[in-house]
Amino acid sequence: MKLLAVETATEACSAALSIDGVISERFELAPRHHTKLILPMIDELMREAGLKPTELDALAFGCGPGSFTGIRIATGVIQGLAFGLDLPVVRVSTLAAMAQEFFDRSEQSLAFTAMDARMEEIFWGVYQRDEQGFAKLIGNEAVIAAELVDCPIESLGVGIGSAWGVYADKLISRLAEQVSHYESDNLPRAALIARLGGQGFMQGLAVPVELAMPVYLRDKVAKTEAERAAQ
């Protein structure tokens, strides 16, 4: 199984290549430079593996939520490759990738994953480790004010993601005693997109390129003061 993955939904830019579960990755913190970095990263990974694009079995990408521009970059790269190579695509949530990175290095099994979405809102998702060790969404992902989040299950978990560095007081107040601690420096990485993408491919979740669309969660990129006041 040979799968190429990309992730550009945040200030981090990364690409990863999974060959029978062994993953190689290129990762760089480079705000506003994703378009310059992502294709060279892919080329380098393929060259080092001695792999031709036609030898790939599938593609995966971080489909959001995250930066509007960043998500479009990953989507465009993967769609272009998928069209040219006639490959199936696995869409992977950036929040799931963040939760998976945490689960892979922790014994805890519940992650309150939250990214700063600006405009006083967060991208929110509760993930639980399943029996195979993979991040499983509990409930739904949402874009929401921090003071309105909820958890579908009553269990102790860990806060993960940039929103915890901005809205920790509101999130902890809302979740009461369910938060053991939090980490705010977590970013999605292509290595985890590849890991979850490989699992999704094995589960039959790959889609044809025309269905490989991003997830924005927010219907509008911006809201007026009047719209927000009316909510």
For the stretch 38-61, pLDDT in tens is: 999 999 999 999 999 999 999 999
pLDDT at position 217, please?
Answer: 86
User: What domains are there in the chain, each with its CATH number?
Assistant: 2-93+188-211 (3.30.420.40), 94-183 (3.30.420.40)
pLDDT at position 106, please?
Answer: 96
Position 103 pLDDT exceeds 70: yes
Sheet-wide strand order for 12-19 = 22-29, 12-19, 2-7, 58-62, 89-92
pLDDT at position 219, please?
Answer: 59
**103-109 long-range Cβ contacts below 8 angstroms, 24+ apart:** 103/127, 103/129, 103/133, 103/134, 103/135, 104/133, 104/192, 104/195, 106/158, 108/156, 108/157, 108/158, 108/180, 109/157
Residue pLDDT, tens place only, 2-36: 999 999 999 999 999 999 999 999 999 998 899 99
* Residues listed for the chain: 231
pTM exceeds 0.75: yes
Q: Are strands 2-7 and 12-19 parallel, antiparallel or unpaired?
A: antiparallel
In the numeric block, the tokens 């705010």 are attached to: 184
Nearest to 62 by CA among 103, 17, 13: 13
Higher pLDDT: 38 or 219? It is: 38
Band (201; pLDDT cuts 50, 70, 90) = very high
139 φ/ψ sector (left φ>0, alpha ψ -120 to 50, else beta)? left
Helix axes 190-202 and 94-103, enclosed angle (nearest 10): 100
In the numeric block, the tokens 């992902």 are attached to: 141
Band (218; pLDDT cuts 50, 70, 90) = confident
Cα 98 from Cα 164, distance rounded (Å):
13
What are the two backbone dihedrals, phi and then psi, of residue 186, each rounded to the nearest 5 degrees? -70, 135
Residue pLDDT, tens place only, 117-142: 999 999 999 999 999 999 999 999 99
If you average pLDDT over residues 64-76, what whole number do you get?
Answer: 96
Q: Are 164 and 184 in contact (CB under 8 A)?
A: yes
Report how far Cα 130 is from the mean position of its chain's Cα atoms.
Answer: 18
Position 194 pLDDT exceeds 60: yes
pLDDT at position 83, please?
Answer: 97
Q: What is the mean pLDDT of the chain?
A: 93
Position 208 pLDDT exceeds 60: yes
Cα 25 from Cα 8, distance rounded (Å):
13
pLDDT at position 37, please?
Answer: 98
Band (169; pLDDT cuts 50, 70, 90) = very high
